[in-house]
Amino acid sequence: GSILEPEERSMEPPALLEEETPLTAASSPAGCQLFGYVGIEAVLDQMKIKTMKTGFEFNIMVVGQSGLGKSTMVNTLFKSKVSRKASQPGQEERIPKTVQLHSITHVIEEKGVKMKLTVTDTPGFGDQINNENCWDPIIKYINEQYERYLREEILITRKRKIPDTRVHGCVYFVPPTGHWLRPLDLEFMRRLSKIVNVVPVIAKADTLTLEERAEFKQRIQEDLKTHAISVYPQEDFDQDPDDRVLNDRIREKIPFAVVGADQEHQVNGKRVLGRKTKWGIIEVENPSHCEFPLLRDLLIRSHLQDLKDITHNVHYESYRVRRLNESNRPALST
């Protein structure tokens, strides 16, 4: 019989055959070249169909003094009566004694896409002689929405789709004074920018000349930089180079000088949204008249999903970590 001698084993792993070499991103920087149609791009159609069936949610808050056109601006943004103007109460009831929050929810549909829109107004903000801590009800409301989402998320048997009532964007209306930001404006944006996406705008910009408007915007930008207030879009969250270039252009324009109007007028044979004055019609959607188109593009057309992503991944995540740490402290101490 033959003697079976043990094989000599090398400590080095056997080399893979050329046919068995796995394709990785490192081996093919430009991606793997396909030899035929696979159908990967169909996932975009699947996502589109699913979104059109289920719809999505978007929650916006408007903050500012009475008479700055907050309700009109929201109606202009979505071209519908989504925000109700305050009725004309008696003289003694005109200014609320404390800051109140009113939320209105509508379902808007455009070309088969449904959006559940919630608009939260803050009547009474900044209308008192003593406005100390007038931002506390707003901060409390924002944190309550985070807490509601957190409670649903930590359930053992949670819903497939958790209702999202978190505030995705806060539009702050700065009065068109033409001077510097008031201490109230600075303190509000300093506190709120840490928990929500704050977008400052100059309300009723048609009361300023173009020179006054440009100077006022420059002063506001200097104030924000001096007090280290980071408004949306924040530089710290720019990851893609293309996004950084786009957001840099937006940051140069912030705060947007806007004019709101929910009435149409006839201009050169066309129906346009605008405000009629003795000198003519101020067209809301005309970039040479105001910067409302920039605000609309930021909130709806280009950065709506980014507002939701930052709300979930940054602001809500910070709240979630803080709350979980607070709940674990008693257990660690015992």
- Confidence band of 97 (pLDDT split at 50, 70, 90): low
How confident is the model over 2-43, as pLDDT tens digits? 444 444 444 455 544 444 444 444 444 556 777 888 888 888
- Three-state DSSP at 182 gives coil
- Whether 180 is in a domain gets the answer yes
Tell me whether residue 186 is in a domain: yes
* pTM, entire model: 0.82
pLDDT-derived band at 330, boundaries 50, 70, 90: low
What's the gap between Cα 215 and its chain centre?
Answer: 26
CA atoms within 13 A on the CB side of 46: 5
Statement: residue 119 has pLDDT above 90? yes
Q: What is the average pLDDT value for the chain, to the nearest integer?
A: 83
Rounded Cα distance between 70 and 248, Å, is 26
Asked whether 229 and 194 are in contact (CB, 8 A), the reply is: no
Q: In this predicted structure, which of 154-168, 207-221, 260-274 has the lowest mean pLDDT?
A: 260-274
pLDDT confidence of residue 131: 80
pLDDT band at residue 95 using 50, 70 and 90 as cut-offs = low
Give pLDDT, residue 11: 46
Inside any domain, residue 162 = yes
What is the mean pLDDT of the segment spanning 113-136? 86
- Whether the per-residue pLDDT at 232 is higher than 80: the answer is yes
pLDDT digits (tens, 9 = 90+) for 285-317: 888 889 999 999 999 999 999 999 999 999 999
Q: Within a domain: residue 187?
A: yes
Q: Is 316 a member of any domain?
A: yes
Pairing of strands 264-267, 270-277: antiparallel
H or E element, residue 326: helix 316-333
Whether 144 is in a domain gets the answer: yes
Measure the CA–CA gap between 120 and 165, rounded to whole angstroms: 11
CB proximity list for 188: less than 8 A, separation 6 or greater: 63, 135, 172
Residue 273 lies in a domain: no
The pLDDT tens digits for 315-328 are 999 999 999 998 87
SS3 91: helix
83 pLDDT above the threshold of 80: no
Alpha carbons 65 and 70: distance in angstroms, whole number: 9
* CATH number of the domain to which 219 belongs: 3.40.50.300
Into how many domains does the chain fold? 1
163 in a domain, yes or no? yes
| Domain boundaries, position 119 | 46-84+95-260+294-321
Give pLDDT tens digits for 137-183: 999 999 999 999 999 999 988 888 899 999 999 999 999 988 889 99
In the block, tokens 């996502």 appear at: 47
